[in-house]
Structure 1
C-alpha cells in the first residue's frame, strides 16, 4: 500500500514532466478527429479526479456507499474542454491529490478494505479504487506519449 500511495502522490509531477517544453500547438494537436489532444486529456484527468476524490472519501467515511461514475465522453463533448483553462485544471488536480495525502498518510489496513458499491452492484475496496487512480494516470501518460509521437510524425510530412 505504501508504494501505491507514493505513486498516487507523484501523479501531478509525472503529468507535469510529460508535457514539459511542449508548445501550445503540440498541446492542442489531435491525432484524429475522434481522439483527444493533450490539452483535453489534462482537463479530463482533472474532471476524473474531482469525481474520484469524492468516491474515495465516501468509501472511507460512509458504510458501503453507492458510487457513481461520470460519462467522460459527454463531459469532454459538452463542457467545452477546448475553451477551459488548462493551468487552472492542472492546479486543481494538484490540490485534489495533495488534499488526499494527509488522509492516505494515516490510512489503516482496515480502511483500505472498506467497500464502495457502484449502481451495477460491482463492489470495490478502497485499495482497488486507489489502484485505479494510479493506473488512470499511467494510462493517460501513455496516451500523452502517443499524441506527442503522432504530432512528431505529422511534422515530418
Structure 2
C-alpha cells in the first residue's frame, strides 16, 4: 500500500511541474481528431479517480465479490469539457481527487485487501490488485502519453 501512496504522491507533485514547463498549445493539442490532448488525458485520470474512489469505498462494505461497474471513458472526458478548461483547473482537480484517494487508502484495514471484486464479465481480482492497478493506469498514461508525446 505504501508503494501506491508514494506513487500517487509522486504524480501529485511531479505532473504539475512537468506540465507547467509546456505551453498551453502543447497541452491542448489533439494529435488526431479521435485522440485526447494531454490536458484531456489528465482529465481522464480525474475521471478514473472519481470512479475508483467510489470503488475503493464500496469494496470495503458491499457484498463480496463486489461487481465493478464500467464507465464510458470517452463520454466522460467529453461531458466534463476538460479541453475547454485551463490546465490549472484540470490539475487542481487531479490533485484534490488523488489526495482524497490517499486519505481513503491510508485507512484501509489490511484484512480488506483480500476482498474480491469482479471485473468484466467474470474476472475476479483482489482489492489489493485494484489499488495497484489504479497506480499502474496512472503511470501508463503519464509516462507513455503525457511526458513522452512530442510537441505539436
TM-score bracket, shorter-length normalisation = 0.7 to 0.9
Corresponding position of 1:11: 11
Contact 2:116 2:127 in 1 (8 A): yes
d(CA) in 2 for partners of 1:81, 1:4 = 26
CA contact (8 A) 2:59 2:115 kept: yes
Indicate if the aligned counterparts of 1:8 and 1:133 stay in contact, CA closer than 8 A: no
Deviations 1:122-152 (A, max 9, x none): 22211111111111111111201232x1x1x
TM-score (norm 2): 0.84
Contact persistence 1:28–1:37 (CA under 8 A): yes
Give the SS at the match of 2:71. Answer: coil
- TM-score scaled by length of structure 1: 0.81
Is the CA contact 1:44–1:76 (under 8 Å) kept in the aligned structure 2?
yes
Following superposition, the deviation at residue 78 of structure 1 comes to 4.8
Instruction: Please tell me the root mean square deviation across aligned C-alpha atoms, in Å.
Output: 2.1
**d(CA) in 2 for partners of 1:34, 1:126:** 33
- Which stretches of structure 1, 4 residues or longer, exceed 6 Å deviation after superposition? none
CA displacement at 1:119 relative to structure 2: 5.6
Q: Which has the larger radius of gyration?
A: 1
Alignment partner, residue 39 of structure 2: 39
- After superposition, the Cα gap between the structure-2 partners of 1:87 and 1:48, relative to the gap in structure 1 and judged at 3 Å, is same
- Quote the Cα distance in structure 1 between the aligned partners of 2:20 and 2:81: 24
Equivalent residues, number? 150
Correspondence list, 1:42-57, <5 A: 42-57=42-57
The runs of 5 or more residues in structure 2 that have no matched partner are none
The match for 1:125 is 126
